[in-house]
Amino acid sequence: MSDEPTAGGPEPNRGLADLVAANPAWYHTLDLGQGVVTPGWFDLRPVLDRMPWPDVSGKRCLDVGPYDGALAFELERRGAAEVIAADIADTASWDWPLRLRVRGPEVRNRLAGVDPGAGFKIAKQALSSKVERVEVSIYELSPESVGEFDVISCGSLLLHLQNPVAGLEAIHSVCRPDGHFLSAETISPGLSLLRPKAPVAQFESGEQCRWWTPNRAGHKALLRSAGFTIEREAKPYAIPFGPGHHVAAVGDGRPRRTRLATRLLGGGPGLTHAAVLARPEALGA
């Protein structure tokens, strides 16, 4: 990233800027203060307030799949008493397709980097955050492994799971009966416009570790299948591409119809998302 200060902005902290520049893969565009902004692939800052957040003040909160921690730090900023960020230890544990698993870690590391927690560590220190990162897969979440929570968030993760229902069921297991779950996930803008009521999904065969992209109705159907009741939802929105994304250099190469559907449904360029606030059902009652 550039060390040049923005017009009228503070002189960047050179030590922090060097740490940010040394991390090869930033997923989130984060303002770390001290004149330093990370060159993330995606910039959630313009859309955070469009999500249907519950009141998190004084609550015990969990963010699942935080990567660099944008949602986890947002929970803390909104007044959470405790925030746990649950993520896997390394990229070898991602749901890679078989052909990439057998080709070994060198191939996977070229696609995803070596340490997905490096950015989080830098950001936590820069923000003087108390968010605790624990290394556990979404599939391994349980009251025994992490406890139970008042509020849980999970963003842009389900499309990377071979079994999103199993992941959501694990989240259900650690959500307190009176708790909330904020699910903010990538959806297919085309399928959402063409099939607005039927729950359907596009299967992407694990390419770039992407498996299932549902339409808006499909996203809500996934939540219901895992034992959640929808409380309220936000209007679909597009998460802008950040400066680290390849589109910053070569442009958005997706089909024109996809880009048009994204603008129609999400209100701008980027990746279309749906955010839903849900409550756990009382199962077996």
Please, which pLDDT band fits residue 4 given cuts at 50, 70 and 90? very low
- Number of other residues whose CB lies within 10 A of the CB of residue 68: 29
Closest alpha carbon to 39 in 47, 28, 48, 49: 28
Domain assignment present for residue 6? The answer is no
The CATH number for 187's domain is: 3.40.50.150
Residue 46 domain-assigned?
Answer: yes
Question: What's the whole-model pTM score?
Answer: 0.92
Full domain range(s) for residue 161:
14-280
Count structural domains, the chain. Answer: 1
pLDDT score of 9 more than 80: no
| pLDDT of 78 over the 90 cut | yes
The per-residue pLDDT for range 134-170, each reduced to its tens digit, is 999 999 999 999 999 999 999 999 999 999 999 999 9
| 102 burial level (CB within 10 Å; 0-12, 13-18, 19+) | exposed
Question: Per the domain annotation, does 274 fall within a domain?
Answer: yes
Q: 102 vs 191, which has greater pLDDT?
A: 191
* Domain-embedded: residue 58: yes
Beta strand 36-37 with 60-64: parallel, antiparallel or unpaired?
unpaired
* Helices and strands, counts by H and E, the chain: 11, 12
Query: Is residue 149, in this structure, part of any structural domain at all?
Result: yes
Whole-number pLDDT of residue 241:
95
Q: Do residues 39 and 26 make contact, with C-beta atoms less than 8 angstroms apart?
A: yes
| Structural domain contains residue 9 | no
Q: Confirm whether 75 is domain-assigned.
A: yes
Does 3 reside within a domain?
no
- Cα dist. 151→83, 154, 277 in Å? 9, 10, 10
